């Protein structure tokens, strides 16, 4: 079936990088190729800041997942004897206004806060990516429609949208996530579209058309993988924003419902006891900072690691 005639030895030699004429070079066989993921991983871990980010993110996620084992107390168990007591051996991070152990709430709060960040961003990406892809690649009337809709959504102030959505869906963490996610969607549509348009202008897309790829395959197989890094970076930035947004919605009573903890709502309550019980604010504040920092470091690292020009 193969149409290839017997290749010339010289031509073969050219490809292997072996000198055809002398046998002098050490005949190094090509090293075992690292798979794409392995290569990506090597690039990622080659950066110290990315490792720091990754370690913190993983630690936070583990903390959220294994909160039941890590937290010294039930985060919603109240201790009437210890209302707003300052940090001591029994409660290393102190207790809050109804006698919850702050440390346990920080540990469990990671679920809500990281969850808010990750879920809302996942939603925004899940919605924004396909629409952005369609708008950017199909163009024409579809693009026009999607972009007008996106513009309209962007033009509505985020908080109004979020408040209205949260109020409509009923205040709960899940719904706050949905609201934050929906509000962030238009940014992703825009970003995806811009990225798609940039990638679609690349020559390899033309090359893909030249071998007869149908449009849907170009969009999914050729464009999509190339816009993922930009989306990922934006996503990690948005996670940070979403954690803060959850805090803001908590401020308005639309976030995590009491007594379940989230860092944002803890911070929100803590502001009423700023001088009496500063520890109520310090820990959730530090946790948010740590998470934001970690996600951003990781995001920067991912961007670099996904850049094919970066060598391992």
Partner 1 sequence: RAQTAQAQTLRFGLMEDPDALDPTLARTFTSRMVFAAMCDKLVDIGPDLKPVPQLATSWSLSEDEKTLTMTLRPGVLFHDGEKLDAAAAKYSIERHLKLPGSQRRGEIAPIDRVEVVDDLTFKIVLKTPFAPLMAQFTDRAGMMVSPKAAERLGDKFSTAPVCAGPFKFVERVPQDRIVLERFDDYWNKDAIHLKRIEFRPIPDGTVRLTNLRAGQLDLLERLTPTDLPQVTRDPKLKVGSTIELGFQSIVFNPNKAGSAVADPRVRAAFDLAIDRNALNQVVFSGEFLPGNQWVSPKHPAYVKEYPIGKRDVAKAKALLAEAGVTKPVINLTVYANNEAPQVGQVIQAMTREAGFDVKLQATDFTTALDAADKGTFEAYLYSWSGRPDPDGNTFSFLACKTPLNYARYCDPEADAALGAERATVDPNQRAQAWKRLADRVMADRPLIYLFHRKLFWAYTTKLTGFTPYPDGLVRFNGLKLN
Partner 2 sequence: MTESSPKTLLDVRDLGVAFDSEVGAVHAVNGVSYALREGETLGIVGESGSGKSVHVLAMLGLIPRPPGRVTGGEVLFAGRDLLALPERALRKVRGGQIGFVFQDPMSSLNPGMTVAAQIIEPLRIHLGLDGRAARARAKDLLDLVRIPNAAARLDQYPHEFSGGQRQRVMIAIGLSCRPKLLIADEATTALDVTVQAEIIGLVQELKREIGMAIIWITHDLGVVAGIADTVQVMYAGRILERGPVDDVFRDPRSAYTLGLLRSLPDLSRGRAGRRRLHQIEGAPPDMRHPPPGDPFAVRNAYATPRCLAERPPLAQAPGAAPGHLVAAWYDLPARLAAEGVSR
Partner 3 sequence: MLRFLVQRLALAVPTLVIASMIIFTLQQLLPGDTATALSGEERDPEVIAFIRQKYHLDQPLPVRYALWAGGVLRGDLGESIRLQKPVLDLVVEKLPVTLELACLAMLVALVIGVPMGILSAVKRGTAADTLANGIALWGLSVPNFWLGILMILLFSVHLGWLPASGYVSPFESLSENLRSMAMPAFVLGNAIAAVMMRHTRAAMLGVLGSDYVRTARAKGVSPLRLVLRHALPNAAIPIITLGALEFGQLLSGAVLTEQVFSVPGFGKLMVDAVFNRDYATVQGVVICTATTYVLLNLAADLLAAFVNPKLRRA
Contacting residues toward partner 2, per CB under 8 A: 10, 13-14, 17-22, 24-25, 46-47, 311-312
Cβ–Cβ < 8 Å for 109, 261: yes
Does residue number 277 form part of the binding site for partner 3 (CB under 8 A)? Answer: no
Residues whose CB falls within 8 Å of the CB of residue 37, separated by 6 or more in sequence, listed in order: none
Helix, strand, coil abundance in the chain, percent, nearest 5: 70, 0, 30
Q: Name the residue nearer to partner 1 (CB basis): 45 or 257.
A: 257
CB of 265: closest distance to partner 3 in angstroms? 11
Q: Which is nearer to partner 2, 48 or 217 (CB)?
A: 48
The one-character DSSP state at 259 is: T
Least distance between partner 2 and beta carbon 311 (Å): 7
Taking CB under 8 A as the criterion, which residues in 169-228 touch partner 1?
170-171
Residue with tokens 């629409």: 131
What is the C-alpha to C-alpha distance for residues 170 and 172, in angstroms, rounded to an integer?
Answer: 6
Burial 193-220 (b: 16+ CB within 10 A, else e): bebbbebbeeeebeebeeeebeeeebbe
Exactly one of 273, 293, 300, 303 binds partner 1 (CB under 8 A); that residue is 273
308 binds, among partner 1, partner 2, partner 3, none (CB under 5 to 8 A by kind): none
Does the footprint of partner 3 cover residue 164 (CB under 8 A)? yes
Write the CA distances from 123 to 62, 174, 255, 303, integer angstroms. 22, 11, 17, 21
Output the six-digit token pair for 207: 């090359």
Which of partner 1, partner 2, partner 3, none lies near 206, with the C-beta cut-off 5 to 8 A by kind? none
Interface residue with partner 1 among 51, 52, 86, 99 (CB under 8 A) is 99
Shortest Å distance, C-beta 270 to partner 1: 10
Residues in 149-168 that interact with partner 1 by CB under 8 A: 167
Residues 232 and 295: beta-carbon distance below 8 Å = no
Task: Considering only residues 35 through 64, tell me which ones interact with partner 1, judged by CB under 8 A.
Answer: none
In the structure encoding, which two tokens stand for residue 91, read together? 């409660």
Cβ 82 to partner 3 shortest distance, Å: 24
Q: How far is the CB of 247 from partner 1 (least distance, A)?
A: 14
Number of residues forming the site for partner 1 (CB under 8 A): 24
DSSP 8-state secondary structure symbol assigned to residue 85: P
- Report the interface residues with partner 1, using CB under 8 A: 76-78, 80, 83, 97-99, 167, 170-171, 252-254, 257-259, 269, 271-276
């Amino acid at each position: 079936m193969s149409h290839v005639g017997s290749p010339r030895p010289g031509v073969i030699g050219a490809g292997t990088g072996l000198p055809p004429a002398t046998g002098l070079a050490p005949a190094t066989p090509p090293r075992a190729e690292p798979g794409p993921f392995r290569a990506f991983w090597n690039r990622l871990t080659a950066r110290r800041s990315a490792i720091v980010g990754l370690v913190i993110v993983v630690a936070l996620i583990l903390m959220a997942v294994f909160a039941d084992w890590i937290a010294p107390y039930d985060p919603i168990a109240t201790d009437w004897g210890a209302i707003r007591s300052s940090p001591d051996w029994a409660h290393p991070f102190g207790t809050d206004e109804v006698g919850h152990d702050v440390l346990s709430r920080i540990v469990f709060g990671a679920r809500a806060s990281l969850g808010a960040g990750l879920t809302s961003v996942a939603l925004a990406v899940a919605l924004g990516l396909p629409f952005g892809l369609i708008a950017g690649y199909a163009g024409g009337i579809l693009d026009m429609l999607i972009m007008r809709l996106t513009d309209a959504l962007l033009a509505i102030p985020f908080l109004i949208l979020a408040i209205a959505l949260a109020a409509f869906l009923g205040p709960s963490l899940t719904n706050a996530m949905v609201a934050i996610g929906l509000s962030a969607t238009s940014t992703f549509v825009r970003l995806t579209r811009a990225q798609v348009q940039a990638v679609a202008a690349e020559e390899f897309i033309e090359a893909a058309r030249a071998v007869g790829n149908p449009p849907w395959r170009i969009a999914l197989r050729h464009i999509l993988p190339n816009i993922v890094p930009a989306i990922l970076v934006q996503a990690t930035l948005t996670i940070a924003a979403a954690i803060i947004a959850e805090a803001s919605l908590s401020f308005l009573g639309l976030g995590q419902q009491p007594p379940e903890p989230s860092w944002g709502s803890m911070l929100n309550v803590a502001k009423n006891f700023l001088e009496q019980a500063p520890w109520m604010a310090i820990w959730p504040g530090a946790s948010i900072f740590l998470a934001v920092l970690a996600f951003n470091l990781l995001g920067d690292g991912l961007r670099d690691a996904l850049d094919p020009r970066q060598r391992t």
